Amino acid sequence: MKEIIPAVVTRFYQLAMNDILIGYHFYKFKDEEVFKQHLIRLTAFWEMQIFGKTDIVLDHGFRLLMTHYQLPLKKGELGRWVILFHQTLDEFELKLNDENITALSNVWKQRIALFEQKFLTAPNLFRNH
């Protein structure tokens, strides 16, 4: 099931980059090489979250909250990110119609909920405007 992770991550970013509410956060990924490197990194991140390990070699670890402190995030944008990720996972479940994908999707959605809570409780992460 690990092989589905890059496809889900890529599809999510296709949706997010073109989304009217949050797409502007992803403009820096218009550069193909930057986008490719980001996808590799995020694939490794989600492999670690779901399976507890990754075979992808990274330059440095993940600083999830620190990375996002640099962005002008709004709480509604976090909600939109969650919705798009759920839509992406649901799309794969429907398309592949496999109980293993459904199980993977359920675990992934649990991890998303955990990160949503971490973000919502992080002091000074969100901008008011």
- From residue 103, alpha-carbon distances to 106, 107, 108, 119, 129 in Å are 5, 6, 9, 25, 38
- From residue 33, alpha-carbon distances to 28, 48, 61 in Å are 11, 23, 20
Where does 2-120 sit in CATH, by number? 1.10.490.10
- pTM of the predicted protein model: 0.88
Question: What pLDDT is recorded for position 128?
Answer: 67
Question: What pLDDT is recorded for position 71?
Answer: 79
Domain definitions of the chain by residue range: 2-120
DSSP 87-121: HHHHHHHHHH--HHHHHHHHHHHHHHHHHHHHHHT
Residue 28 binned pLDDT confidence (cut-offs 50, 70, 90)? confident
CA distance 55 to 58: 9
CA distance 80 to 28: 19
pLDDT of 118 > 60? The answer is yes
Which residues, other chains included, contact 10 with Cβ-Cβ below 8 Å and sequence gap of 6+? 39
Residue 81 binned pLDDT confidence (cut-offs 50, 70, 90)? very high
Other C-beta atoms lying within 10 Å of the C-beta of residue 51: 13
